[in-house]
Amino acid sequence: MTTTDAGATTDIGLLAHLYRRAGFGATREQLEELSHQSYDDTVEFLLNPTPEVDLPPDVLARYFGGESPNSYVSIWIYRMLNSRCQLQEKMALFWHHVFATGLIKNEHVLSSSNQIDMFRRNGMSNLKDILLELSRDPAMLFWLDNNENHNGEPNENYGRELLELFSMGVGNYSELDIKEASRAFTGWTFGQPPPLYPHGYYPAQFKFDADDHDFGEKTFLGQTGNLDGSDIVDIIVKQPASAKFITRHLYNFFVADEPQVPTWNDLEPLDPQLIDEMSSALLDSGGEMKAALRVMFLSDSFKAARFKKVKSPLEFVVGVLKMVGEFTELRPGLEDYATASDAMGQRILDPPTVEGWHTGKEWIDGGNLTERVNFAAEQIGDGDSPGISALITRMIDGGAMSSPEALVDSGLDVMGQLEVDDSTRDALVKFAGDSEGDPEPSRAVRILRLIAAAPEFQFA
């Protein structure tokens, strides 16, 4: 059951798909408003949003502040729910997945949260700037031991992962390149923040220690000179292998689930043509992330990839909260949701290893599926919440009660035009038939709750 809207030019289902991927979902009202402009214009808006002024950090800190990881995650979820710059928040999460830095080792929340703020600030800029800032980020430097990377005694941890996991992927460089890159990053360290007592929390700051830097000649990927870390980054971003690796990450995060990263050197991309086009856009623009993102979101393959990805736990939680319509304004209580994704296997700020979270169906096991289903059923089953009560009204007004089939199709429609297997639809229709005679709002909310429990709802 699709609502008709005379001025609409863009398909609501496609926009819902775009906002699930390029953001954290959108309300039906937002989607209807967007349907009056072209899809390409909406993509451009996501790539170049008007600057966000409604979410001043000091105000957010006043509501959710504190030095715990949960405080920061609350603020971040609030942004995901309310920021107009949806893609900016999604790209911050993207880089958090790729440049996985764990609080498990750092135990310094402010450094970890500053890293996310950095991803938000520069995550849609140039790959060169992104890798350079990453290489100067205290949380990353500590996580991968670059503070132990000394002139004459190189520690290869950062140099290796920069190439293997953050830019090029295995098979595109030699062990010698790792050693030379590591030498180039010697002396890239951070100053200790002042002690907590009595000074309070301060972030660590990047520091270049010239005395500890190896100024000798190095050869990296065929280029020789007195290379330092920024030269290494310059060389990396010009490599076709880097463009391919980064765009494949984009594809895996935004389009469809690829096999896990360690297989990428052996397995071709699912969509080699799109990866080629995105890589060319990235290389030809000198590393502009927006160029690759634009090609991706405008591609037919992206548009056809509805429900081809298992939602990450955080996407799942935030998507449900957005549907429920709570926390559209600042109020306490969001902290209760900061750890909701933990029990589903994703502790924000604390990916399990430098490889990041394993995605796709590896997100799902019995325990966290139970958590997901119960979380969604409880939230979506609250017919009094602003978001769900609006959906119920829309369903009833749109004729959902005319038949069991109409009720189910209406529910699937308002839940983002969810596409389901025939077996799921049959089960829902049977239930809708059995519930005939019950009060209309109750029938509607129970159908929504069951759709939220369906296996297909786990997909974005």
Nearer to other proteins, 29 or 421 (CB): 421
H helix count then E strand count, the chain: 24, 4
Binder among 147, 189, 252, 424 for other proteins (CB under 8 A): 424
Distance CA 74, CA 59 (A): 13
Nearer to other proteins, 230 or 435 (CB): 435
Report the nearest approach of other proteins to the CB of residue 106 (Å): 9
Region binding other proteins by CB under 8 A among candidate stretches 14-22, 131-139, 210-218, 423-431: 423-431
Region binding other proteins by CB under 8 A among candidate stretches 13-21, 119-127, 207-215, 417-425: 417-425
Binder among 29, 336, 378, 397 for other proteins (CB under 8 A): 378
Nearer to other proteins, 33 or 434 (CB): 434
Nearer to other proteins, 223 or 435 (CB): 435
What is the sign of the dihedral through the CA atoms of 123, 126, 129 and 135? positive
SS3 223: strand
Report the nearest approach of other proteins to the CB of residue 16 (Å): 19
Q: x/- site string to other proteins, residues 329 to 358, per CB under 8 A?
A: -------------xx------x-xxx----
CA 356 to chain centroid, in Å, comes to: 12
440 binding other proteins? (CB under 8 A): no
Amino acid in the structure at residue 75: I
> CB of 229 within 8 A of CB of 207?
no
Nearer to other proteins, 298 or 369 (CB): 369
β-pairing, 205-208 vs 223-225, is unpaired
Nearer to other proteins, 67 or 397 (CB): 67
Q: How far apart are the first and last CA of the chain?
A: 20
Region binding other proteins by CB under 8 A among candidate stretches 2-10, 44-52, 374-382, 399-407: 374-382
Using alpha carbons, select from 189, 241, 237 the residue that is nearest to residue 210.
189
Binder among 29, 107, 145, 336 for other proteins (CB under 8 A): 107
Report the nearest approach of other proteins to the CB of residue 426 (Å): 7
Distance CA 117, CA 119 (A): 5
326 binding other proteins? (CB under 8 A): no
Tokens of 242: 């880097």
For residues 155-214, which are near other proteins according to CB under 8 A?
none
Report the nearest approach of other proteins to the CB of residue 456 (Å): 7
5 binding other proteins? (CB under 8 A): no
For residues 45-104, which are near other proteins according to CB under 8 A?
102-104
Nearer to other proteins, 155 or 230 (CB): 155
259 binding other proteins? (CB under 8 A): no
Nearer to other proteins, 229 or 269 (CB): 269
Tell me the Ramachandran region of residue 306: left when phi exceeds 0, alpha when psi lies from -120 to 50, beta otherwise: beta
Distance CA 256, CA 459 (A): 10
CA torsion, ordered 15, 87, 293, 31, to nearest 10 deg: 10
139 binding other proteins? (CB under 8 A): no
Residue length of the chain: 460
Calculate ∠ Cα 174-175-179, nearest 5°: 120
381 binding other proteins? (CB under 8 A): yes
Please report which residue ranges of 69-156 form alpha helices under DSSP H. 69-82, 86-98, 103-106, 109-122, 127-135, 138-143
Nearer to other proteins, 182 or 458 (CB): 458
Helix orientation angle between 157-164 and 127-135, rounded to the nearest 10 degrees: 160
Distance CA 138, CA 207 (A): 9
Nearer to other proteins, 35 or 424 (CB): 424
Tell me the Ramachandran region of residue 56: left when phi exceeds 0, alpha when psi lies from -120 to 50, beta otherwise: beta
Size of the site for other proteins (CB under 8 A): 46
44 binding other proteins? (CB under 8 A): no
Residues at the contact surface with other proteins, assessed by CB under 8 A: 102-105, 107, 257, 310, 342-343, 350, 352-354, 360-362, 364-370, 373-374, 377-378, 381, 421, 423-424, 426-428, 430-431, 434, 446, 449-450, 453-456, 458-459
